[in-house]
Structure 1
C-alpha cells in the first residue's frame, strides 16, 4: 500500500469511484498487479483510536538524518513497541509519528471469497497487520495516510500484499481524521498473503521514507 496524503474531499471522491477495487502486488522478484472487484461491498466507518506508548528497542545500523530517537534502518521491534519515524510527504514534511504494529492476525481463505482475484488467490491465506499511528510532532496531519507496511514470512522474505482501494471490512487502511494534532492516535491495517496454509506471515516491515531512499533499502520490522 502506498503512502499518500490528500484532502478529505479528494479521498471521499476516490472512495466512491472505486470502492471495493483490489490490487494484488507481487514480491520484489516479480511485481504484478491484478485488479479485482468483490461481488458486493459496502463502505465502512472510521476505526477507533488506540494509544501506542511503548518504547522502541535499540540496535541496528546508523540512524537516518533527523531528530534523536528516530528508528534506525534495519532496526527490529517487538509487536507492541513503538518506532519513532519522520513523515516527510506532501504537505506534511517535517512531521513525526510513532508507528506501532499491534497485532498480526491470521484470516482464512474464505475471507477472499467473492473477490475476483482468479487463480492468483488460490491457496493464499490472508493475514491482517494491525498498527497504530500517533502524531508526536507539531504538524497537524489531518487526512494524512501512513502506508508502506507489509508482511514478512518466517524466513524474512516479503509476503505478497493485497492493496485495497475503498473498504475491506476485515482490514481497513485508515487516513488520519481532521484535526489530527500532537498526541492523537489512529488505527490502520495492511493485508499480507501467505503462499499456503503451511507458511505463516510472522512479521511486518515499514519501508516508507526515509528508509526506501537509502542504498541498503532496509526498513524497520516487528516480530
Structure 2
C-alpha cells in the first residue's frame, strides 16, 4: 500500500471537535475530514471522521485471480485500476447507528487532469480491495476500514481521492468534494 506523509493543505488540517470540514478542502493522505454522512432515510448527516490512508495501483492479475470473466477483463483494457483505502470513525457516538451502511458509495477519485475516474463495483469478496459495509463495532467507537476501486485511462495518473456524495455541499454537481492527494 502506498502511503504518503501529510503535506501542506489548502485549509486548516483538522476541524475542531464537532465541526465539519469545509467543502472543497484539500488534504494529504492520512489527514482526517469530518463529513456529514447520510445513508437512506434513517441515517442523515451523522458526523463521520473519514481518512484516506493510501492508494495502491491495481493489476489485471488481481482480477484474473478473483475469477472474473474475460468480458470484464477486456473492459479493463486501456485502464489502470487503483485501490483506495479509507478509515472511518463515528464522530458523534450518540448519532444514528451506522452499522451496515456503506461509505464507499460516497467516495470517488479524480485523475491527474482533474477528471472524474470511473468507480469499479464488484459483488462479493475481492482480496486486494474489499468494499465492506461498516461493521457494528463502528457504533461502539471503533474505526472501520474499507476500500474502493477506481479506474482511469492508462494515459493519466491518479490525482486525488474524493468524498463526494450524490447531493449536497460535497457533491460534484451541487458543491465541492473534499480531496486527498
Bin the TM-score by the shorter chain: 0.7 to 0.9
**Distance between the aligned counterparts of 2:164 and 2:22, measured in 1?**
12
Matched, 1:199 2:148: no
3-state SS of paired residue (1:112):
helix
3-state SS of paired residue (1:164):
coil
Q: Deviations over 1:152-199 (max 9, x none)?
A: 211111112201222211101111212422532100001011311x52
**Distance between the aligned counterparts of 2:128 and 2:171, measured in 1?**
31
Q: Structure 1 residues 136 and 110, CA, compared in 2 at 3 Å: closer, same or farther?
A: same
Q: Paired residue for 1:136? A: 91
Q: What are the within-5 Å matches in structure 2 for residues 1-223 of structure 1?
A: 59=11, 69-90=19-40, 91-113=42-64, 114-116=67-69, 117=72, 119-137=74-92, 138-139=94-95, 140-147=97-104, 148-181=106-139, 183-196=141-154, 198-208=155-165, 210-211=168-169, 216-223=174-181
Q: Which protein is bigger by CA-based radius of gyration?
A: 1
**Distance between the aligned counterparts of 1:100 and 1:127, measured in 2?**
17
C-alpha deviation, 1:106, in angstroms: 0.9
Q: Structure 2: 5+ residue runs without aligned partners?
A: 1-5
Matched residue pairs, number?
Answer: 162
3-state SS of paired residue (2:121):
strand
Q: Deviations over 1:79-137 (max 9, x none)?
A: 00000011232322242110100001112222233423153211322110001011111
**Distance between the aligned counterparts of 2:113 and 2:160, measured in 1?**
10
**Distance between the aligned counterparts of 1:103 and 1:118, measured in 2?**
25
**Distance between the aligned counterparts of 1:204 and 1:120, measured in 2?**
22
Check whether the contact 1:97–1:134 (CA below 8 A) recurs between aligned residues: yes
Please state which structure has a larger fraction of its residues in strand.
2
3-state SS of paired residue (2:103):
coil
Higher relative contact order, structure no. (Cα contacts within 8 Å, ≥ 6 residues apart) = 1
Q: Structure 1: 5+ residue runs without aligned partners?
A: 1-53, 61-66
RMSD over equivalenced CA pairs, Å = 2.6
Q: What TM-score comes out, normalization by structure 1 length?
A: 0.64
Q: Deviations over 1:58-77 (max 9, x none)?
A: 639xxxxxx96212221111
**Distance between the aligned counterparts of 2:59 and 2:137, measured in 1?**
36
